[in-house]
Chains A and B, each alone.
Chain A
Amino acid sequence: MKILPLSMKNLRRKPGRTAVLVLLTAFLAMAVFGGSVVVLSLRTGLRNLEARLGADIILVPSEAQSKVSFQNMFLQGTTGAFYMDASVADKAMEVPGVEKTAPQTFLASLKADCCSIRIQVIGIDQNRDFTVQPWIARSLTGQLGDMDVAVGCEVEAGIGEIIRIYEQRCRVVARLEPTGTGLDTAVYCSMQTMDTLLAAAEAKGISHKISSGDDSVVSAVYVKVKDGYDIDTVNTALTGKLRKVTAVRTRSMITGVSDSLAGISRTVSVLIGVIWLLAFIILLLAYILSIKERSREFAVLRMIGASAKMLGRLTLFESGICGCIGGLAGTGAAAVGALSFSALIGSSLGLPYLLPDIGTILLLAAGTVLLTAAVSALASAFAAWRLSRIHPGTALREGN
């Protein structure tokens, strides 16, 4: 007697029962795959944010902390425009332990022609920058020219395309790699281009706190600490030396994000655990009831020569097939949801969110399907063991 064709026939013969078992296992697979993709994406986002920031300390005007949280600007892409004296960059260099400083100027555009929201324009001093330039260099050899911009990966403009900011035509010359944060929605340009954009804003009657040609103010200064110096000590020294300036340690910013991530990971893990436990109990009960209902069918099979071991294998095959189909369906549904709406999930969480590479996702999907099939088979194993202990004669008499 061939087990596989018989299992398939049994499953087809009772479509309602099969559908319930498949749905249960699909639910299990969805919970595991969806939850794992979210947690992995948060971890990937955090790793990339850490790599992108590059600096040890960021100096911002004190008002930046109250006006628009500096962290929100990075993580959620909230536009911010705050300014401080440009001499901060030179003064910071006088502090022992500071290796280099890179000033940046922020400008919240009114509305670019591309989008319905404001975008953050960031002007970088190309001679001093060490944070954005290495990333721009991955897709652009040389420096940003006049009216050239590098765009974050979420700005859907290809290299060579023109985007208009304050009615000014800016040529996209580089696209930056994703970070899963607000940095992905920013547009980077040289200080010269920033001047032109400010002049264009003034011509349109839009007033910013800085005016074109005013190079005496900057928005943030990125600080790299020399090797061998304690970053906290340098941070304290910078706070003491510079007035009306807040020194933010990038590590503390990332630690805050990391703590939120750990909290979310814990919650997701507990939820997955609870769902698995409940689904396992339901599957176990479903198989026990199903075997009880089919006791006469199994007794007849025993009488025509099927061994108890063979019936056990039949049950395991049936549950394994249900687990595989449910696992594939659940993983597929979760993949469609998690991949299609990743931008929405990322913005809802407000944390760095970046999908892992396709290889990892495929591996995770395969693992989920295998795990679901294994758990489904495990749930039926108990029922199969009980079945092997019942004498066919007794089963037939009980059935009558």
Chain B
Amino acid sequence: MVKKQVIPGCITLVLSLVTAIGSTTFLGPCVHEDGSVGACHWAGRALLGLGLLLAVLSLLAVLLRRARGGLYLSIAVTCILGMLTPGTLISLCKMSSMHCRAVMQPAMILLFAAAGTAAVCGAAASMRKEKGRV
């Protein structure tokens, strides 16, 4: 029974670490030839921040038994924010073949979507357990 509530937290933790590390490496924004920074650079920074926030929340969800349901819900909301960040909340380069649009945006949307789904499952399992206690 405990496993059902902890496993989603472990999944979101791994996914958030991939997001955070990816946003500065292989899933990061475009690298400009002249060293200047464009809009997608700031989207990459925001994704790094969201990834780290998600990692902390996931770790807390794994460790703290009593606040698990609420933590999972906050992870789900953060994931929605993460999915909207590249392209909607922060603009990217204006060419769809660029790295930020071809790799960073779809990869981040998929990672946050997967983490969000896991978080919703975790929240549902936690709430079922709480209901059982009552």
A residues apposed to B, CB below 8 Å: 77, 111-112, 114-117, 119, 153-157, 163, 184-185, 336, 340-341, 343-344, 346-347
Query: Apart from A114-B94, A117-B95, what are 5 other A-B pairs with CB-CB below 8 Å?
Result: A111-B34, A114-B93, A116-B98, A340-B110, A341-B103
- Assuming the A-B contacts A343-B101, A344-B102, A344-B103, are A116 and B96 also in contact, with contact meaning beta carbons closer than 8 angstroms in the complex? no
- Assuming the A-B contacts A154-B96, A185-B95, are A116 and B33 also in contact, with contact meaning beta carbons closer than 8 angstroms in the complex? yes
Contact of B95 among A155, A340, A344, A346 (CB under 8 A): A155
Give B22-50 as 1s and 0s: 1 = Cβ < 8 Å from A's Cβ atoms.
00000000111110101010000000000
- Assuming the A-B contacts A111-B32, A340-B106, A344-B103, are A157 and B94 also in contact, with contact meaning beta carbons closer than 8 angstroms in the complex? yes
Q: Do A340 and B109 touch (CB < 8 A)?
A: yes
Q: How far is the CA of A111 from the CA of B93 in the complex (A)?
A: 12
Q: How far is the CA of A249 from the CA of B109 in the complex (A)?
A: 43
- Assuming the A-B contacts A336-B110, A340-B109, are A115 and B103 also in contact, with contact meaning beta carbons closer than 8 angstroms in the complex? no
26 contacts between A and B (CB under 8 A): A77-B97, A111-B33, A112-B94, A114-B93, A115-B93, A115-B98, A116-B36, A116-B98, A117-B95, A117-B98, A153-B96, A154-B97, A155-B95, A156-B95, A157-B94, A163-B94, A184-B97, A340-B106, A340-B109, A340-B110, A341-B106, A341-B107, A343-B96, A343-B101, A344-B103, A346-B97
CB within 8 Å of A: which B79-134 residues = 92-98, 101-103, 106-107, 109-110
Question: Which of chain A's residues have a CB closer than 8 A to the CB of B32?
Answer: 111, 116
Chain B contact residues: helix, strand, loop or mixed: loop
Q: Which residue of A lies closest to B41 (CB)?
A: A116
Q: How far is the CA of A346 from the CA of B97 in the complex (A)?
A: 9
- Assuming the A-B contacts A77-B97, A156-B94, A163-B94, are A116 and B30 also in contact, with contact meaning beta carbons closer than 8 angstroms in the complex? yes
Q: How far is the CB of A138 from chain B (nearest CB, A)?
A: 19
